[in-house]
Amino acid sequence: MIYLLEKLTLSTTAIALTFSVLPMTSVQAAEITYSFSGVIDSGSLINESYTGSLSFDDANLMGSGEEALAVSEVTFNFLGSTFTQLDAAVTPTIDFSDGQFLGLSYTVINSNLSFSFIPGLFDSDGAYFAYDPNMGNAGFGSLSYGVVPEPLTILGSLAAMGFGMFFKRKLS
């Protein structure tokens, strides 16, 4: 009987911890962060890679029609240089269509290199990177995005696994 009670306690604790750390749909806005990366596949900079991240607040996202939200932060690492939203020719945005993430709209124009991130038409799979090294032989590159999990979700998941291992050892 005690063994059954211990298993019931373990199960109840595990379920409670799981629901406490799962990302829930919320009516509150949140700062969302995406990482992105790609590789140049044409032009004079072929095979060069790039990485970066962007953040935005989804408070004004309505989820219908065409929407563009201003980014709160962009960091882009390319050819040994780091670019931010302060380098942009116009305010960078995150574009959506009916709530579907399309990608980053971001353009930098300078004397050595100009480039743009172009969002997809239907989803972020169609997004791409275009560049012009201001000496001819412009080109394009791939672009892929990934949501960066919130630190609290990661810590909660680790805590749930730790509690599970602790209770499993206690029962053995």
**CATH code (residue 110):** 2.40.128
- Considering the domain architecture, whether residues 168 and 99 belong to the same structural domain is answered as no
The pLDDT assigned to 34 comes to 97
- Considering the domain architecture, whether residues 73 and 105 belong to the same structural domain is answered as yes
Is residue 46 within 8 Å of 139, Cβ to Cβ?
A: yes
For the ranges 35-44, 84-93, 145-154, which has the lowest average pLDDT? 145-154
Is residue 85 within 8 Å of 65, Cβ to Cβ?
A: no
The pLDDT tens digits of the residues spanning 47-81 come to 999 999 999 999 989 999 999 999 999 999 999 99
- Considering the domain architecture, whether residues 127 and 168 belong to the same structural domain is answered as no
3-state secondary structure of 158: helix
- Considering the domain architecture, whether residues 67 and 119 belong to the same structural domain is answered as yes
In the chain, the DSSP E strands lie at: 31-39, 49-57, 66-70, 73-78, 81-84, 93-97, 100-109, 114-118, 128-132, 139-141, 144-147
Range of the domain at 166: 1-23+150-172
- Considering the domain architecture, whether residues 83 and 157 belong to the same structural domain is answered as no
The pLDDT assigned to 161 comes to 54
Provide the number of structural domains found in the chain: 2
- Considering the domain architecture, whether residues 90 and 18 belong to the same structural domain is answered as no
- Considering the domain architecture, whether residues 168 and 131 belong to the same structural domain is answered as no
The pLDDT tens digits of the residues spanning 119-163 come to 999 999 999 999 999 777 899 999 999 999 987 644 445 444 555
CB count in 10 Å sphere of residue 10: 17
- Considering the domain architecture, whether residues 5 and 52 belong to the same structural domain is answered as no
Q: How far apart are CA 54 and CA 74, in angstroms?
A: 4
- Considering the domain architecture, whether residues 14 and 81 belong to the same structural domain is answered as no
- Considering the domain architecture, whether residues 18 and 77 belong to the same structural domain is answered as no
Q: How far apart are CA 90 and CA 145, in angstroms?
A: 21
Is residue 145 within 8 Å of 128, Cβ to Cβ?
A: no
- Considering the domain architecture, whether residues 120 and 130 belong to the same structural domain is answered as yes
pTM for this predicted structure? 0.70
- Considering the domain architecture, whether residues 163 and 104 belong to the same structural domain is answered as no
